[in-house]
Structure 1
Amino acid sequence: MALRGWLARGFWRLDAVLGGDAEPVRSQIFAARHPVKMGVRVGAAMGALFAVLSALSPEGWGWDAVGILCAVIVFFGVFMTGMGFWERRRQRHYGFYKESGRTELGG
């Protein structure tokens, strides 16, 4: 367990040296507050871009293009959702992320 703590402290030191301790901008704040919403939006945007590029290709649409389109949407959605949760963790570590004070029932 000592190695894990040593690696974690080293990571956060390196992150601070590279500018990770700077105050977050609006997009980073949004990503930390709404990671799933960000993942859905980025997945939809990348899917739309892929759909346009596929429609412009000489081969046109086929079931293989639809399958790849679905994979692109899922990949970017899941990846960016994970990045949003990581951004929340980073902001919480540096003291920028404030809990909203809501209860689990939304009150």
Structure 2
Amino acid sequence: MTGTDREPARESWTVGRVVGGQEQPTRFQLFIARHPLGVGLGVGTPLMVIFTSAALLDHAPENSVTGACFGAALGGIYGLTALGERHRQRRLGRRGPRSRL
């Protein structure tokens, strides 16, 4: 890759460093990073149940599929966020907590 291809990644890590991305992870962040699939399922499943049951209680069974998809999408977003935290921690381990770009 040339230097121009890596520019968005460098800017992303710079923003992350400014908002505290160089700090050591907490115990909760370590747990989340170790279990991204569990986080996605643990968040998505209850949301799917809540949204689907809300649609069924509203006497609109045609919206239950939409509610289930919305809950699954939110669970997927949480899972991807946990995966991003895993990559942040891996980068911290490679570069060290006090290194600069």
TM range (shorter): 0.7 to 0.9
Unaligned runs of at least 5 residues, structure 1: 97-107
Letter in 1 for 2:83: F
- 2:59 is aligned to 60
CA contact (8 A) 2:47 2:72 kept: no
Alignment map for 1:87-102 (pairs within 5 Å): 87-95=85-93
Q: Deviations over 1:21-60 (max 9, x none)?
A: 122223321221010111000001222332454355xx32
- 2:29 is aligned to 28
Give 1:65 deviation, angstroms.
2.4
TM (norm. structure 1) is: 0.71
Q: Over aligned residue pairs, what C-alpha RMSD do you find?
A: 2.1
Unaligned runs of at least 5 residues, structure 2: 95-101
Alignment map for 1:34-49 (pairs within 5 Å): 34-49=35-50
TM (norm. structure 2) is: 0.75
Give 1:10 deviation, angstroms.
2.4
Letter in 2 for 1:84: A
What is the total number of aligned residue pairs between the two structures? Answer: 93
- 2:9 is aligned to 8
1:53 to 1:25, Cα distance in 2 relative to 1, 3 A:
farther
Identity of aligned pairs, percent?
28
